[in-house]
Amino acid sequence: MMSSFIFELFWIIFILSMFIPFWRAYSQRVAREALIRQLEEKRKSRVITLIHRQESMSFFGLTFGRYITIEDSEEILRAIQLTPSDMPIDLIIHTPGGLVLAAEQIARALIKHKGKVTVFVPHYAMSGGTMIALAADEIVMDSNAVLGPLDPQLGGYPAPSILSVLEKKDINQIDDQTLILADMARKALDQVKDFVTCLLKEKIGEEKAKELAETLCSGKWTHDYPITVDMLKQMGLPVSENMPQEVYELMNLYRQTEQRRPSVQYIPVPYRSSERSAGRGASSEVS
């Protein structure tokens, strides 16, 4: 009798462990859609999200990194196609970057849209995410958010760094594979510079656009260098810091995967001035 009870309990736990993650994912999706609809009604726009975070799958707890893919560009192009030409588009981006082809497709589609395009960057939009942001009529960023350089990467190496080998070594001392890679690097660099110039020339003028494309693409910084709001404003880009609260609330619905011990902890409520004067109640820990 006891063994039968244990067996039944095991299957109940097993079924629940299968069902709960799907129910949690469904509830989270419903909450995201409700908040997106709320933001759309407030701004009278089409809201699209491109948010890449590490996510868990099923009860096994497997995690997967996310980046801009062709599937992302297909979905965003479809969303733009379903949007009336004169309706504003609000694109919320949180991404480490991804495929240049996919990022260019998204950026071209945004440039062609007749309604105002606003890109919101609550935390960061690096590499391909930066390319998409440059296509917007307005970039709205948190004061601490960053964009990144646009130097193309080939085989894990920055294109400008590959080309620098040709300047530092005699061509007879360079193997054929490196020469082929350098040829590809030159083409990739020229292509990205031309595209960035195309994105920016209507906003800041062609000469300034070429200069900025050179700054962003030529390897002046490492690929993960943070380009801040102040730097972007100095470059003459249309950047604002008027981030809607709904964007932060939406980001909370794309939480990182749970760990045994959280890397960062705090009490998630705003404090009034009287509470701050009495001492900070929030705490944090970094692993």
> Which residues in the chain show pLDDT less than 50?
55-64, 282-287
- Residue 41 belongs to what domain range? 2-256
Distances (CA, A) of 199 to 159, 173, 176, 192, 260: 21, 39, 35, 11, 44
Is residue 92 assigned to a domain? yes
Is residue 267 assigned to a domain? no
Instruction: Determine the pLDDT at residue 253.
Output: 87
Terminal-to-terminal C-alpha distance of the chain: 48
The C-alpha atoms of residue 84 and residue 245 are separated, in whole angstroms, by: 26
Is residue 217 assigned to a domain? yes
Is residue 263 assigned to a domain? no
Is residue 262 assigned to a domain? no
Short-list 92, 88, 87, CA closest to 36: 92
The pTM (predicted TM-score) of the whole model is: 0.81
Instruction: Determine the pLDDT at residue 259.
Output: 52
Strands 138-141 and 89-94: unpaired
Short-list 223, 245, 200, 235, CA closest to 92: 245
Residue at token pair 């080998």:
165
Instruction: Determine the pLDDT at residue 164.
Output: 92
State both tokens at 60: 């096994």
Cβ atoms within 10 Å, residue 212: 22
Check which CATH number belongs to the domain holding 81 and give it.
Answer: 3.90.226.10
Is residue 37 assigned to a domain? yes
Instruction: Determine the pLDDT at residue 133.
Output: 97
Residue 240, helix vs strand vs coil: strand
Overall domain count for the chain: 1
Summarize pLDDT for 94-110 with one digit per residue, the tens: 999 999 999 999 999 99
Instruction: Determine the pLDDT at residue 85.
Output: 93
Summarize pLDDT for 247-257 with one digit per residue, the tens: 999 998 887 65
Residue 126, helix vs strand vs coil: coil
Dump strand ranges (E) for the chain.
Answer: 46-51, 55-57, 62-64, 89-94, 117-121, 124-125, 138-141, 146-147, 153-154, 157-158, 239-240
Is residue 283 assigned to a domain? no
Across 75-100, b (16+ Cβ under 10 Å) vs e yields: ebbebbeebeeeebbbbbbbbbbbbb
Is residue 113 assigned to a domain? yes
